[in-house]
Structure 1
Amino acid sequence: MSTDPRPEKPVTPTPLDHTPAEPGPTMAARWLAEALGTFLLVFGSISAALFASDFGTGTNGSSLGIGFVGVAFAFGLTVVAGAYAWGPISGGHFNPAVTLGLAAAGRFAWKDTIGYIIAQIVGGAVGTTCIVLIGLFAPGGWLSAAQSGGFASNGYDALSPGGFGIGAAITAEILFTGIFVLVILGVTHATRGTKLAGLVIGLTLTLIHLASIPIDNTSVNPARSIATAIYGGAEPLMQLWVFLVFPIVGALLAGFAHRTLFDTKPSF
């Protein structure tokens, strides 16, 4: 028993926090949690983009689709669900850029990043594969049309919803991924964080999509970009490197900056 007269504060696990303290879930359980969370993120949000964003019009001429706003909320809601369901097991990264950003900030072990990233890529790929399986039974050549349309892949120039070029895509991915990682690091801090971290993170991802879907379909997550590009055809695959490299650049910059600016112990 502690001799400190002050009451001890209970430690409450928060989604997307650093590596769980020992004893804790096995590494295999953490990999599985990352795969499941990334599966949910990709399957739920890309399903919304492909099945529901432009569903058609009703009898009164109004749109039945959810549009960009609905897709943006789908990304945010899947992150909220995954963070609270599996965050206490693995930290709930569900994104290679987040994993590397947390490592750069000193919140996650570099040696564990490869296993997490592989699990995330596998989970995302399974997510889009399940969408393809549904599409096999869709009417009117839906699947071939979805694939010829890029399968909700990220892209620039002709693949950008708004016709933005590669420079815009690079800049957006660095900035928006950096902002995302900074928010994550802030709300999951061991002493300054909040129990509502999962909700804040999901709403931040929604905001990011609301702002940037027209630019390049919004990546900020290399696992999401890989998952759609593998079914989107040759052109999305050729442009994929942008959405692998620059979200990671943004995440690393944010991680190192947060560690330097906010987590360095004062020398006085």
Structure 2
Amino acid sequence: VDNTALVGPLCNVFAMYDRIRLVLKRLNLRLQPRECLLHVPTWAGLEHPPQALADVMERYPECPATYCPEGFSFLGLPLGTAKYSEAFLAKVAAKIVATLDPISNLTDGRIYMQVMLQCVNLRPHYYIRNLPPWLSTPFAEACDTAIIDAIARYLCFPDGWRAHPHYRRGAFQLRLGIKQGGAGLTPGIMCIHSSFFASTSASLLSCGQTSLRDHIDRNLLGVNDPSSSRHSILRGFHLCRETLATHGARKEEDVAPHAPPP
């Protein structure tokens, strides 16, 4: 078992944690204490470290957990405060940018573009798909700018190329999809709302079709509830839905079927 997340009130989380520990013990498996991490969101209004946490941990001495007040990474994604998440994404962006210069040493332009398309340009999309827009937007913009600047240098665009319509159109065409005559280097900023909307829709469908629906705190997840976290999955979902609708996106069932040929 790997990368398991327990979400809920502290007493429930540790009770389930203890049950999992006992089941694993029967299977001759054990937990990795260094990977057992705990974060209490700031909107919970608890002191740091919360006394409630100390009481619960004392009740379950065989359930180790490292308290991470700022947050931690889960499946390669930041989970925690806004400051922690932004710093985490800044480091990811820096790693992506650091790969651009070594790749530019490739002398074969076709191989260079394939590496940029299949490797570098796709890396930000994992974070865009799984993080709310307020977090992913500045991250995507930073990555997009660095990637197109690196390609411009490789193609020997002049300094200040953005001021020249000819080069600006060329860069724009590189960013178009292959079906639109471009190179397929779709910028992350263009995918933010559709990607997050799609992944969230799948998650909500899963929650609605399983027993998870009986344990969802709808008040905390509500879009307009003042106590709702800025990280709320439904808040991000609502924002993406409104943005897509504003730009003309429609559900397939809302589109009139094509008339049959005469």
Query: What is the TM-score with the length of structure 2 in the denominator?
Result: 0.38
* Structure 1 or 2: more strand by fraction: 2
Is the radius of gyration larger for structure 1 or structure 2? Answer: 2
Q: TM-score, normalised by structure 1?
A: 0.37
